[in-house]
Chains A and B, each alone.
Chain A
Amino acid sequence: MGKAIDAKDLNIYYGSFLAVQGVNMSIRPQTVTALIGPSGCGKSTYLRSINRMHEVIPGARVEGRLELDGKDLYGPGVDPVGVRRQIGMVFQRPNPFPTMSIFDNVIAGQRLNNKKLNKSATEELVEQSLRGANLWNEVKDRLDKPGSGLSGGQQQRLCIARAIAVQPDVLLMDEPCSALDPISTLAIEDLINELKLEYTIVIVTHNMQQAARVSDFTGFFNIEGTGKPGKLVEMDQTKTIFSNPTEKATEDYVSGRFG
């Protein structure tokens, strides 16, 4: 079940370069939060720091606190691998494992972590996850076929099924629809609306209509210039951000009068 995320004075570095500065953000459980802003403003970096994925890049580190239901994810003794099991992620480009069938892709989280499940439990989990990702009806007759044979939109939903099969508390989505056509995008957006009943969702998007359609809250990130750190300018209810934002920069951005 969804959990709350709280960032407190979060600074994110790549080596000595400060990429994102001073983020304070509270994300409520079982809501959809959209992060918008121009390219290079640090929203993806911030998203990736939530499940400690940015540490994969050498030299990347974080200062400040990032709490999941009050527990600091960067505290001493916290295993980043454990964090990622609780906070799933869907990427910009669909990335099903090419060596695995659709079935194996869905339970990849279990298989790769050597979790033993009996046959019926596995099948149940696969069906439940694929239904959760609105993909079951399309693939139920070809579960043994490779996942890379699906269309782009189906592959992305397969990746969502794979992410929710490990039963995380939070689902991070990094521009999940930017490589998809409008119909597949609509399918994913519908799915996000259903998923928020169980998960806390944070989504990065360049599409402001999408942010307005799917999210409850919106955070606007901005950057003052190249080489400067990205900052969270404003975060509020999506309605407020798009109709009556406090900051001038936000209004300029959402109304397309930016720069």
Chain B
Amino acid sequence: MSIETDRRDPDRDVEIPLPPALRKQGQLKPWVTPGMLGAAAVVVGGLLVLAGFSTGLFIVGTFIVFAVGLYVLSRAVEGRRKATDRLVTVTVTAAFLLALIPLVSVIITVIGNGVARFDATFFTSSLRGVVGEGGGAYHAIIGTLIITGLAALMSIPVGLLTAVYLVEYGKGRLARAITFFVDVMTGIPSIVAGLFAFALFALFFGPGIRLGFAGAVALSVLMIPVVVRATEEMLKIVPNELREAAYALGVPKWRTIIKVVIPTSIAGIASGVTLAIARVIGETAPLLIAVGITTGVNINPFDGRMATLPVFSYNSYAFPGVPREPFLDRAWTAALVLIIIVMLLNLLARLIARTFAPKTR
């Protein structure tokens, strides 16, 4: 039996009618969707003007009227399947826009308030001897970079090797225990990590000690589980066939890991690590406890308090001097700088992923 491609009866040369299931239903014109949205806005707006206007109610009401109206219209013209499709599309889009609101709001607020002091002085001078206007966060930027850098230096090797152990070597009870505790560590509140580091260093140096290095330890407590998880997932997706290919060439296991498994997954590992850094660079609570804050530049993490951007921002906002305005402006600019650093780290992660990803041509 052959498949008929010609829709004509060969004997009678008469067109065979399409069975109902295959027949195309009516279709709404493309302008109907924006038209319906406009109509919903006009209707809801008109009703609200009569009853007293409120933006939130207007948006929610417009959405509901729009979604219901579109569904009913589509159901009448296009049938049930298409109507459901339209309803779900509208709902998903609305959820996306809802999620976007806080994000956009934060960015607009921070840029709006932070741009006033986003100048050269902010990046070149500290707060030493500054009582009112002027001054900058050079000391806090450098402190953040040093402490986060130290935390990364400690966390990346530990996290990477732990992940290699879990994926390549770990079996039985020890591996299960490590996986469990890594999961537990992922959920540690950052303040607990800060208290841990503070208490640990207080044991050695006496109570009241504040060190940049203690902050780095607190951050690495938060960072290690993230690095382990990210690296573990990346190592797991390296196909086993590649390991076997290397073994079959007489390559020992450790060398296979270093030269085949890790290079194959390095893109994902590098971007995971970068995102882990971005995750801890904005931590405030642990640094407030373990590192404290200063007004001057301190680049020695083993000698006393250091300033960091999140703590600088918090401190300027919570305990402003007189007049208040310059302190609040500096707090917003510090927040803006922090967002920019995190954004740059994310861009860096993408760049790394693209550079190292295995190429096919």
User: Which A residues contact B (CB, under 8 angstroms)?
Assistant: 51, 53, 56, 58, 81-86, 88-89, 91, 93, 95-99, 108-109, 111-114, 145-146, 148-149, 159, 162-163, 166
Q: A58 contacts B360, CB within 8 Å? A: no
Q: A145 contacts B361, CB within 8 Å? A: yes
Q: B244 contacts A81, CB within 8 Å? A: no
List the A side residues contacting B360 at CB < 8 Å.
98, 146, 148-149
User: Which B residues contact A (CB, under 8 angstroms)?
Assistant: 171, 239, 241-252, 255-256, 259-260, 263-264, 358-361
List the A side residues contacting B259 at CB < 8 Å.
111-112
Closest chain-A Cβ to B359's Cβ sits at a distance in Å of 5
Q: Pick the residue among A88, A93, A96, A148 that contacts B248 (CB under 8 A).
A: A88
Q: B260 contacts A112, CB within 8 Å? A: yes
List the B side residues contacting A88 at CB < 8 Å.
248-249
In this complex, the member of B245, B247, B263, B361 whose beta carbon has the largest number of chain A beta carbons within 10 angstroms is: B245
Q: A95 contacts B244, CB within 8 Å? A: yes
List the B side residues contacting A145 at CB < 8 Å.
361
CA distance A81 to B360 in the complex (A): 30
Closest chain-A Cβ to B246's Cβ sits at a distance in Å of 6
Closest chain-B Cβ to A79's Cβ sits at a distance in Å of 9
**B246: nearest chain-A partner, CB-CB:** A112
Q: B250 contacts A81, CB within 8 Å? A: yes
Q: B247 contacts A112, CB within 8 Å? A: no
Q: Pick the residue among B241, B256, B359, B361 that contacts A93 (CB under 8 A).
A: B241
CA distance A99 to B264 in the complex (A): 6
Q: B245 contacts A95, CB within 8 Å? A: yes
Q: B264 contacts A53, CB within 8 Å? A: no
CA distance A136 to B245 in the complex (A): 21
**B248: nearest chain-A partner, CB-CB:** A89
Closest chain-A Cβ to B119's Cβ sits at a distance in Å of 45
List the A side residues contacting B247 at CB < 8 Å.
53, 56, 81, 84
Closest chain-B Cβ to A245's Cβ sits at a distance in Å of 32
List the B side residues contacting A58 at CB < 8 Å.
171
Closest chain-A Cβ to B79's Cβ sits at a distance in Å of 44
CA distance A89 to B250 in the complex (A): 10
List the B side residues contacting A96 at CB < 8 Å.
245
Q: A91 contacts B241, CB within 8 Å? A: yes
Closest chain-A Cβ to B233's Cβ sits at a distance in Å of 18
